[in-house]
Structure 1
Amino acid sequence: MNEIKDPGRLMEYLQTYGIEAIFNEDIIPFLSLYSFEQGELIFSQGEATQYLFVLVKGKVKIFTTSEEGKTLILSFKTPLEVIGDIEYVRGIDTINTVEAVSPVLMIGVRQSVIRKYLKDHSPFLQFLLEIITKKFYVKSNSMRLNLMYPVEARLASYLVSIAYDENELLVNGQLSTSHLPDIANLIGTSYRHLNRVIQQFCEQGLVERSKGTILIKNLQGLKHLANDNLYE
């Protein structure tokens, strides 16, 4: 995590997303802009949550890890999104691990500062309410995707979600086959069936499988197959 000391740039992001009004004058001096590199952990599951972040550029993935060390990707987030909101409201440690999929910029502020200056600030509380209810809505859509769409559409959706940022710029055009068991769990299918679908995608020229990796070859074809239903 790298703090960017640029108040002008910070205010530009606040104004771009129309969120300047959710903060009051007392807390503005405590807001900072932070950058994270691709692959950098923003939060780690089980650690004390010190910050609340507003994602303003890039993409992050959220995943959980079992006691046996198995990981399960839960969602992907792009701007505008809040990271650490549930932990702030409930006063608990970090629920899931959050990792930068692409270079990321976030507006951050310590939770202790929020409790001091925004605990009763209605615009901020309304903003949190909207963000949290949106997460329930997105989760419902993800469940619908797993229940109502074939594995081909679900895998295509996953590949598009993990490989490209919010501006459809390639940030990770390949993934390791070691992640396939986790992907199978996420999209609700068996590992064996997932491999059959990947082979089908290879034959269609959508992806290429080689040396322990799966390389995306045709973004538009995958998006068409996903029918614009992406994991979020």
Structure 2
Amino acid sequence: MKKIDDLFVIESYYSELNMNQFFDKDMKDHIKLLKFERNEYLCREGENMPYFIFLVEGKAKLFKTLPNGRTLLLNFYTPLKVIGDIEIVKNQAASGSIQALSDCYCLVIPMEKAREELITDRKFLKFTCESLAEKLFVISMNSSINLLYPLENRLASYINELSIPIRHSNSKKYINFDENLVSIAELLGSSYRHLLRTFNSLCKKGVLEKDNIGYRVINKELLIELAGDLYKDTTFL
């Protein structure tokens, strides 16, 4: 995590996103800008959150650890998404872990200051209620997806959300992703063997190609077709 002290950049984000719509009072003086690099955690389940976070650039994934020790994918976060709405209302530690899938830029307010200034702010509380309602809907949908959709579709959607273009590839179709397969199996609620069979199936269909590094997407259009709208992050903003 890196703090960015460029006031011009902070004010640009603040103005472009019309952050004043979320508060009755002007919170600009309390807002900082943080950069989380790919694979860094914006928050970890069970740990106290030092900041109330607005994700303004980048992509992250939300997952939760189950009582049996396995993890389960709940959602993908894209701008503009708030992180810490449950925690600020219930005054509790982080209820899930959020990990950056790309470099993420976040406008943040120290949690202590946010609780002091915003817990009685009507505009902020209305915004928080809308955020929680939308998250509940999305997580409920994604939980149903984990139960009802074949692993092939869930894996295709996950790869589609996760994949990053290779800058120096000879073909624009080639997209690489470097996730640990054991972690993917856990996140998607699958066994490792079933996951490997599904990867092989996607290779046979011409969606993926295996090389010395791992897997590459060679048919983005077919990947998107198999993925459908699964795990898509929605927003009301």
CA 1:119/1:156 → structure 2, altered by over 3 Å: closer, same or farther?
same
Report the equivalent of 2:222.
Answer: 221
In 2, the alpha carbon distance for the partners of 1:13 and 1:5 equals 13
Report the equivalent of 1:174.
Answer: 178
Q: Is the 2:72–2:188 contact (alpha carbons within 8 Å) kept by the matching residues of 1?
A: no
Shift of 1:91: 0.5
In 1, the alpha carbon distance for the partners of 2:198 and 2:89 equals 41
Q: Say yes or no: does 1:71 pair with 2:66.
A: no
Given residue 207 of structure 1, which amino acid in structure 2 is its aligned partner? L
Given the two structures, how large is their TM-score scaled by the length of structure 2? Answer: 0.83
Q: Say yes or no: does 1:54 pair with 2:54.
A: yes
Unaligned runs of 5+ in 2: 166-173
CA 1:8/1:24 → structure 2, altered by over 3 Å: closer, same or farther?
farther
Q: Is the 2:63–2:187 contact (alpha carbons within 8 Å) kept by the matching residues of 1?
A: no
Shift of 1:76: 1.4
CA 1:18/1:181 → structure 2, altered by over 3 Å: closer, same or farther?
same
Report the equivalent of 1:85.
Answer: 85
Q: Is the 1:174–1:216 contact (alpha carbons within 8 Å) kept by the matching residues of 2?
A: no
Shift of 1:207: 1.4
Q: Is the 1:176–1:212 contact (alpha carbons within 8 Å) kept by the matching residues of 2?
A: no
In 1, the alpha carbon distance for the partners of 2:59 and 2:164 equals 8
Unaligned runs of 5+ in 1: none
User: Is the partner of 1:175 in helix, strand or coil?
Assistant: coil
User: Is the partner of 1:64 in helix, strand or coil?
Assistant: strand
Between the aligned residues of both structures, percent identity stands at 32
Given residue 185 of structure 2, which amino acid in structure 1 is its aligned partner? P
User: Is the partner of 1:35 in helix, strand or coil?
Assistant: strand
In 1, the alpha carbon distance for the partners of 2:68 and 2:89 equals 29
Shift of 1:139: 1.3
Q: Is the 1:178–1:212 contact (alpha carbons within 8 Å) kept by the matching residues of 2?
A: no
User: Is the partner of 1:79 in helix, strand or coil?
Assistant: coil
In 1, the alpha carbon distance for the partners of 2:94 and 2:175 equals 26
**Greater alpha carbon shift after TM alignment, 176-185 vs 72-81:** 176-185
In 2, the alpha carbon distance for the partners of 1:70 and 1:209 equals 27
Report the equivalent of 1:10.
Answer: 10
User: Is the partner of 2:179 in helix, strand or coil?
Assistant: strand
The alignment covers a number of residue pairs equal to 225
Q: How does 1:6-155 map to 2 (within 5 A)?
A: 6-65=6-65, 70-155=70-155
Given residue 224 of structure 1, which amino acid in structure 2 is its aligned partner? E
Given residue 83 of structure 1, which amino acid in structure 2 is its aligned partner? I
In 2, the alpha carbon distance for the partners of 1:174 and 1:100 equals 13
Q: Is the 1:177–1:214 contact (alpha carbons within 8 Å) kept by the matching residues of 2?
A: no
In 1, the alpha carbon distance for the partners of 2:232 and 2:82 equals 17
Given residue 105 of structure 2, which amino acid in structure 1 is its aligned partner? L
Deviations 1:170-225 (A, max 9, x none): 9962333333431441xxx4443332221111112211234573333322221111
CA 1:68/1:225 → structure 2, altered by over 3 Å: closer, same or farther?
closer
Q: Is the 1:62–1:97 contact (alpha carbons within 8 Å) kept by the matching residues of 2?
A: yes
In 1, the alpha carbon distance for the partners of 2:184 and 2:148 equals 21
Report the equivalent of 2:169.
Answer: none
Report the equivalent of 1:163.
Answer: 163
Q: Is the 1:175–1:213 contact (alpha carbons within 8 Å) kept by the matching residues of 2?
A: no
Tell me which stretches of 4 or more aligned residues in structure 1 moved more than 4 Å.
66-69
